[in-house]
Chain A
């Protein structure tokens, strides 16, 4: 019984964090058409931003979290200015953008290594130390905090996208960038909004994950790979698909590391993704979305 409880809680925590990353990547890809390989760098950068804030300003949890999110947003704007604005309307933007963000990622992580050194840093426990026992399942403060904060923030972002003019702008660009230009939506300005919001989501995920793992210059790589695979599995551009895919892959990760061992996680994960994409080439969104394309 405790075993199942442990697996389930781990799955939910991982699903929330990776889901946040996947939603960010998914929105970036479908609205500005950029496969943001610098997402891992933004993730690591915001980890360091939060660490600096905790080190030199205050160890208050809310402040550390905000510092991480803000650094992430700044990182997103930086990537937008370097990799989106100069090349977005040139031929073959998808591949060029991929290479540009990869370059930013490589340069950025090396700069982080140079600036902060190879030793991992750890953030203060922003949710404090407490635990509750729920029918034999022990829930620690960081698990509850992670789940609550990520669900709250992602819900807030999605509600904002549903109700505001800016949100309509972003959603319109996600569905048809050409028509978006026709109704008067400026592609470049929207790019900055999108990249700062998704950067902020990466920052949030970085601070939340740092409650479990340490911050290191290359620490963003594995979460980014997970985020990309969840986004692919859910169907790029679909938020609901990403949420469901995050649940499925989080469960898979928790189950695999419990039953087979942690080293097999990536193997089972990619096998699962291949199976899902073989059955549903558009990902889980293909099952959900009944609206016809184009």
Chain B
């Protein structure tokens, strides 16, 4: 696979290096022998249709799929390997290594207040100690949440929930942010502002991968766009190439 090898700049560090990853649920194989490398400081867009494995790729990196095999190196440490059962058993260890997964469809704790919810995002011991400044930073990105801090998340609207869900991910002390369809199910205007907020996050040394179906929301604002088709990465466009899509057959 050469799909992911196009854009490296030499001084960049490899945050995520996936090699030969296959994953799925029960007898169904969703990801087929996939390679992907993500470098520090870059935003990567992952585009593809429904059911072509974008979410499953994220879940496999977090160890949440039914089974998986292949190497996943996060900040140089191996977090993948072969696993035939136990989805989620080792996820907290991957999260401790620096992963923040912002899942599709929110996955919120409906009874916690917005504030507790943000705290829960900083659950790793290191992030927990400095959760106050982190919370201020997230609230600066999503100002509407300031007034809602004491409200249970279950009573919020769809857009507010998405803000809480993304805010929870940003609370983490992570070097890799995986954002799954941030605009899904939101009104276009709200979806756009959520995307705006994601783009405004200072990445620093970390990296962000955004899965999205609406390419227009990503164009011109991410370093690379990678296409995903039936469980494989197909084609890549980068800023360097002026978003000329290159197709691999």
Contact = CB atoms under 8 A, between A and B. Distances in A.
Interface string A154-187: 0000000000010011011011111111111111
Nearest to A184: B95
B123 A176 contact: no
A168 B101 CA distance: 19
A3 interface: no
B152 A183 contact: no
Given A175-B109, A292-B110, A292-B154, A183 B88 contact: no
Contacts of A183: 95, 120-121, 123, 168, 172
A176 B108 CA distance: 7
B123 A171 contact: no
Given A89-B86, A89-B88, A172-B120, A182 B103 contact: yes
A172 B123 CA distance: 11
B19 interface: no
Interface stretch (B2-10, B42-50, B111-119, B194-202): B111-119
Interface band, chain B? 20 to 34
Contacts of B64: 178, 181-182
A181 B110 contact: no
Contact of A176 (B91, B93, B109): B109
A178 B123 contact: no
A165 B110 contact: no
* A contact residues, range: 20 to 34
Contact of B92 (A175, A184, A291): A184
Interface string A179-208: 111111111100000000000000000000
Interface in B83-131: 85-89, 91-93, 95-96, 101, 103, 107-112, 116, 119-121, 123-124, 128
Contact of A184 (B91, B109, B110, B154): B91
Contacts of A119: none
Contacts of A293: 110, 154
Contacts of B89: 89, 187-188
A259 interface: no
A289 B96 CA distance: 33
B12 interface: no
20 contacts: A89-B89, A168-B120, A169-B123, A172-B109, A175-B109, A176-B108, A179-B103, A179-B108, A180-B109, A182-B62, A182-B103, A183-B123, A184-B124, A185-B120, A186-B93, A187-B89, A289-B111, A291-B110, A291-B111, A292-B154
